Amino acid sequence: LRKGADMDVRNGMGLRPLGTSAAEFEQDLLSNLYYRRGTTVESASTQDAYETLALTVRDRLAERRVRTAAAQYAANPRWVYYLSAEYLLGKQLEQNMLYSGTDRIARIALRQLGLDPDEVTALDLEPGLGNGGLGRLAACLLDAMATLDIPAVGYGIRYDFGIFKQDFQDGRQIERPDDWAFQGNPWEFPAPDDQQTVFFYGHTEKDAAGRTLWIPGEVVFAEPSHMLVPGHGTDTVNIVRLWRARGSHSSFDLSRFSAGQYAEAVDEAVHAENISKVLYPDDSTESGRELRLKQQYFLVSSSLRDIIRRFRLRNSDWTDFPKKTVIQLNDTHPTLAIPELMRLLVDEEGLSWDLAWAITKQTFAYTCHTLLPEALETWPVHMFERLLPRHIEIVYAINEIFLTEVRNRFPADLDRVRRMSIIQEEPERRVRMANLAVVGTQAVNGVAELHSRLLADITLRDFAELWPEKFHNVTNGISPRRFVKMANPALSDLITEGLGGDAWITDLDRLAGLEPLAEDASFRLRWREVKQANKVRLGLGDPASLTDVMIKRFHEYKRQQLKLLHIITQYHRIKQNPGQTFVPRTVLFAGKAAPAYHAAKHIIRLINAVAATIDADPAVSPYLKVVFPANYNVTLSSLIIPAADLSEQISLAGKEASGTGNMKLALNGALTVGTLDGANIEIRDRVGADNFFLFGLDTPAALELRNGGTYSPRAYYEQDGELRRALDAILDGKFAGVGREVADSLLGWDEYLTLADYRTYVDAQDDVDAAWQDTESWTRRSILNTARSGFFSADRTVRDYASEIWHVTPVKVTR
Ligand code: 73E
């Protein structure tokens, strides 16, 4: 059977269609239990039951998947290939039950068989193949692409160990490995036939015809498997294809094994397999390890060969490649795809350099996710050329042509040439991946309006001056399916009732129809009841108290330390005023710090120490409670977000590219306290300034203060009594002696201007308390936050990409 051939799949290839009744589902459960797990209900373990349920649900999407593949093959469309080193897909079972419409019948069938649905579904694990917002964005975009019937494939790495599991010991973060697929992963379809070969190291030579040959020093196999990416309310089921490294056949040394050298016999295979062993637990901090560069090339090389294999199923002319293919680079992590495509076209396919370069530039687009200079990836030339000796030659050649263009446009501007070069010279020679990504693509985008503007004006200014038309903004969005419909079923039901239908799930602008209901007292009461019930479900703190959440990776620029200073201030106010009543608050932090990021870990430890001190103080605990559940992930976020009243988005202006948690929280009816940063600005523009608690320096003021050279955090400390008290409490060891590093860093340099924003932040929090006391008005604002946030659907984001950058059209899957 020729893979991808135009086979007749319209009748499920003549198979019996899978039933939609609970009785039929029950039959299929029994059948899968028997034939796939080799057991019966009487002797099945819970794991058997879980795997069987997963397969039975999966089967119902498989038929849609086959029809999707056939329709997409027939259309020979322009494809979107999304390359990302990270995906935070979240649990698959609940999503796939929802998307296949089997949620209700699956539960009935399980109970019929004497199985407890909650016990069985509890075994579903979250594949944590990402660090934070960037990985979750990739998953939300895949969801939206499928929902919009866009022919797309996501490519990534199937890490054996995902993002580490976080625990606290004495309030300190400790990390444990996350072997998420140890029991197997029922959602995965292996595709061994599509295995690819990836080369590393070695050297280059010229053959008689003058063509360059790469003689590699290491060969590794890339074994693909895929998971289903169903669309909501459509028959499209796309895939995300994940690569796993395997030693080549020759990497098992039988003679050594026979000689009893067991470890040495598998040395090479183990070495190869390390490539997909672990996700780098690294968010916006530099890592710089060769293994990471190897991972990047592994992803890129195997994915490009697969993309070309797919292109050849229906096409033969290379000039058609960019017409049929757009490859979106999720940050610079997959940027090696640019020189790799050049190598494949020039060295392997024999195209001229100029034609290959034209094709390459037209094919790629690049999304930048950061502004922090330390997060712009660079690789030492010596490491790059040792690992990828042919690619460094190609990068040099690209650079030469590019710099000639720069010199022609800006004669005698040597400094500009130095700044724009793909190769950094000082203090050490390094390859600048962002420069390579801008040079080798047809479109570059930031992820929120402010971010895209700052990219063009500051971070990538030289490039925007050279190619203004290349620069775009595509504001991030989130999946309303996962973060409203699934995470918040009670609110979803209320919204559906209020709007008279559930079309909002795939057309989120319809939430605007809730606006008039903000004036309806009985609707407001039900809105509050839902929020209360979600707090009870979360099970942390008093459901009547204001639930104030800060959920995100720990990073100094995000300023969890600012929230902490407010908490300590509130603690002091309560202690100083016995007999006075205060607005009761439950402050919830959740998030992980990179294992080597010591400053962030000190903040985590201090939060836990402050939480314990408050807890132990009966004068304070009725009004203030700090909770910090460990191991924040997509699953936990889905419990917290629906329970939140207040969303903390308090990064220093100009540092957070977008944020996406801010969107999820606003859509679930939380009010935001935030700076004019990232997507906060767009949220505030939409929900209205009255429904958003603004504070802090804006970007120009922050830049001026930081760059002016006169910023003195100590001056703020000396001038503000409450701030002084908060910092002194830490310095005096009032919180079990923990956190002096945090206070020292704030008083010493305070990179992210925390002390400069402290006073306006505390004042904004006083406004929050005052607003909370008017329950009806707060509820009105909460409803308006939801009603006016439809823009932040990932469906809108994908439509923007499709029309502005990808120029792709949907392929509808029919029966
Ligand atoms: O503001 C977020 C943004 O919402 C940004 O910090 C995050 O991407 C989100 C989605 O656009 C992000 N992650 C990384 N860079 N930006 C990153 C960098 C290196 C390794 C892993 C992740």
Residue 651 has pLDDT above 90, yes or no: yes
**Residue range 549-567, pLDDT digits in tens:** 999 999 999 999 999 999 9
- Mean per-residue pLDDT of the chain: 96
Cβ(447) – ligand 1 distance below 6 Å: yes
Fold for 76-91+126-474+802-806, please state it: Rossmann fold (3.40.50)
Q: 466-500: buried (b, 16+ CB within 10 Å) or exposed (e) per residue?
A: bbeebbbbbbbbbbbbbbbbbbbebbbebbeebbe
Q: What is the DSSP string of 264-314?
A: HHHHHHHHHHGGGTB----SSS----HHHHHHHHHHHHHHHHHHHHHHHHH
Active-site residue (options: 664, 686, 781, 788): 664
Q: What is the DSSP string of 315-363?
A: ---GGGHHHHEEEEEESSTTTTHHHHHHHIIIIIT---HHHHHHHHHHH
Share of the chain above pLDDT 90, in %: 91
Cβ(369) – ligand 1 distance below 6 Å: yes
Active-site residue (options: 136, 553, 563, 566): 553
Chain centroid to CA 22: 36
Atom of ligand 1 nearest to the CA of 133: 9
Residue 237's SS3 state is strand
Residue 140 has pLDDT above 50, yes or no: yes
Instruction: Using most ligand atoms within 8 A of CB, pick from 333, 369, 592 the residue to mutate for ligand 1.
Output: 369
Going by pLDDT thresholds of 50, 70 and 90, the confidence category of residue 14 is low
Please, which residues have CB within 8 angstroms of residue 440's CB and are 6 or more apart in sequence? 335, 338, 339, 360, 361, 364, 398
Please give the CATH superfamily to which domain 486-792 belongs.
Answer: Glycogen Phosphorylase B; (3.40.50.2000)
Residue 755 has pLDDT above 70, yes or no: yes
User: What are the φ and ψ backbone dihedral angles of 329, each rounded to 5 degrees?
Assistant: -95, 120
Please, which residues have CB within 8 angstroms of residue 234's CB and are 6 or more apart in sequence? 146, 147, 149, 812, 813
Active-site residue (options: 558, 585, 625, 655): 558
Mean pLDDT of 793-806: 98
Dihedral over Cα of 313, 318, 320, 325: its sign? positive
Q: Is 664 tagged catalytic?
A: yes
Kindly give the distance from the C-alpha atom of residue 778 to the centroid of ligand 1, in angstroms, as a whole number.
32
The whole model's pTM is what? 0.97
Chain centroid to CA 196: 26
Instruction: Using most ligand atoms within 8 A of CB, pick from 284, 367, 677 the residue to mutate for ligand 1.
Output: 284
Q: What is the pLDDT of residue 15?
A: 73
Cα separation, 401 vs 175, in Å, equals 46
Q: Is 324 tagged catalytic?
A: no
Cα separation, 624 vs 567, in Å, equals 8
Tokens 């395997």 sit on residue: 246
The residues that bridge with 153 in the sheet, in sequence order, are 81, 239
**Residue range 155-205, pLDDT digits in tens:** 999 999 999 999 999 999 999 999 999 999 999 999 999 999 999 999 999
**Residue range 215-259, pLDDT digits in tens:** 999 999 999 999 999 999 999 999 999 999 998 777 788 888 888
Cβ(84) – ligand 1 distance below 6 Å: no
CATH 3.40.50.2000 placement within the chain:
76-91+126-474+802-806, 486-792
Cβ(437) – ligand 1 distance below 6 Å: no
Residue 472's SS3 state is strand
Cβ(656) – ligand 1 distance below 6 Å: yes
Cβ(137) – ligand 1 distance below 6 Å: yes
Q: What is the pLDDT of residue 12?
A: 53
Burial category of 536 from C-beta neighbours within 10 Å (exposed 0-12, middle 13-18, buried 19 and up): exposed
Instruction: Using most ligand atoms within 8 A of CB, pick from 131, 134, 377 the residue to mutate for ligand 1.
Output: 134
Q: What is the pLDDT of residue 249?
A: 72
Cβ(446) – ligand 1 distance below 6 Å: no
Going by pLDDT thresholds of 50, 70 and 90, the confidence category of residue 88 is very high
Cβ(475) – ligand 1 distance below 6 Å: no
Kindly give the distance from the C-alpha atom of residue 54 to the centroid of ligand 1, in angstroms, as a whole number.
32
| Ligand 1 atom 20: residue of nearest CA | 283
Going by pLDDT thresholds of 50, 70 and 90, the confidence category of residue 1 is very low
Q: What is the pLDDT of residue 374?
A: 78
ipTM of the complex: 0.99
Mean pLDDT of 288-295: 87
Q: Is 361 tagged catalytic?
A: no
Q: Is 563 tagged catalytic?
A: no
Q: What is the pLDDT of residue 7?
A: 47
Cβ(304) – ligand 1 distance below 6 Å: no
583, 546 contact by CB (below 8 A): yes
| Ligand 1 atom 13: residue of nearest CA | 134
| Ligand 1 atom 18: residue of nearest CA | 284
| Cis before 224? omega within 30 | no
Kindly give the distance from the C-alpha atom of residue 592 to the centroid of ligand 1, in angstroms, as a whole number.
14
**Residue range 271-281, pLDDT digits in tens:** 899 999 999 86
493, 499 contact by CB (below 8 A): no
**Residue range 520-550, pLDDT digits in tens:** 999 999 999 999 999 999 998 899 999 999 9
Question: For residue 430, what is the enclosing H or E element?
Answer: strand 430-432
Kindly give the distance from the C-alpha atom of residue 691 to the centroid of ligand 1, in angstroms, as a whole number.
27
Residue 3 has pLDDT above 60, yes or no: no
Cβ(284) – ligand 1 distance below 6 Å: yes
